[in-house]
Structure 1
């Protein structure tokens, strides 16, 4: 009975207080700071529509920082080069294998660099394409064809790749999609409401997966 009581107290504590997510400030010269309105808008959408309690303003964290472990979700984006140091690699690996989640959204131009850096973190794990029947595409919003297309670049289909550890998705890499652009303020890209809503719903599915698995 005492153990049950303590467990209930922890559940109430977790449900009553906000959690914080963060943007990764990486090295290499890429524009890690791209899409400044995207995460605040995603947070607002999730808090309103799927009952999350995320602090309105995301933090910024470097991949080698011990603060990384304070965030259940961290996000990376950009158009250019990414370089992870040995300290970055070690810290990211420890973070992801101990319950953390990294979402990398290629903002166009990041792909050739980030794949090599992901391989540093998980040299024995390949990025695998996530099928449309994975739960991240199922709830709370159904994406029956998998990752939606938000912005057009090379005419390629959008793809979601992942790294799985013990059947848990720990790293999500979204390619040829530009989810973050869809999360930005409407006037930034002049996307119609339907496109922005589709991007925000997919973002909400990511958050739902993190906070419920």
Structure 2
């Protein structure tokens, strides 16, 4: 699929956002990783955001492919999974254009995704590296305050949670949350049997990310 020129992609994203208001989508990618993991997560986060931070998000998020021009219809895209992630050259260029044109991508490691994802991102941004966000970054103090930074939702390897970002001219364009698993906390309570306080932290942090992406 032929990619949009950078300047055209910017105006496409700008016009689409102004017409469709707030919309989010799930990113479908190749490589064998389960991009469809946590099916109840994003719908639950949408309900939480609509009820608590004044968004008007459609209840069912759409699915978009990395190489498709339809990603430019969504100012916020969510990506998750456990395993391998592979971007073709065309897909990497399309995603890079989307992000540099004003889009925002949140990637939540559902456990085991990190090594594959980092390699894939090198193709998208060979000149940029993931940087850890400090605990005083604005994303941690939107509607809800997280003075210690990203909350720990699931243990995984017992390591501390990290919020890693890619920036373009001081603008956070990509957020990669690791060793936290916010998506598991967003899922229906019966899926992981997380305590209410853990689910609340996950949903509040998710709401912060959504608000930051729409108001940055």
Bigger Cα Rg: 1
Given that 2:22 and 2:214 are in contact with CA atoms closer than 8 Å, whether structure 1 keeps it comes out as no
| 1:137-159, Cα deviation, whole Å (9 max, x unpaired) | 01110000000000001110000
| 1:9-28, Cα deviation, whole Å (9 max, x unpaired) | xxxx95x9652211011000
TM-score of the aligned structures, taking structure 1 as reference length: 0.92
Which stretches in structure 2 are left out of the alignment for 5+ residues?
Answer: 1-16
| 1:23-50, Cα deviation, whole Å (9 max, x unpaired) | 0110000101000000000011001100
Secondary structure of the residue aligned to 1:24 is: strand
Which residue of 1 is the match for residue 160 of structure 2?
Answer: 157
Alignment of 1:49-60 (within 5 A): 49-60=52-63
Which residue of 2 is the match for residue 38 of structure 1?
Answer: 41
State the alpha-carbon separation in 1 of the partners of residues 134 and 127 from structure 2. 21
Which residue of 1 is the match for residue 139 of structure 2?
Answer: 136
Which residue of 2 is the match for residue 3 of structure 1?
Answer: none
Question: Runs ≥4 in structure 1, deviation > 6 angstroms?
Answer: none
Given that 1:18 and 1:55 are in contact with CA atoms closer than 8 Å, whether structure 2 keeps it comes out as no
Secondary structure of the residue aligned to 1:163 is: strand
- CA RMSD of the aligned region, Å? 1.3
Which residue of 1 is the match for residue 179 of structure 2?
Answer: 176
- Correspondence for 1:121 among 116, 120, 124: 124
Which residue of 1 is the match for residue 111 of structure 2?
Answer: 108
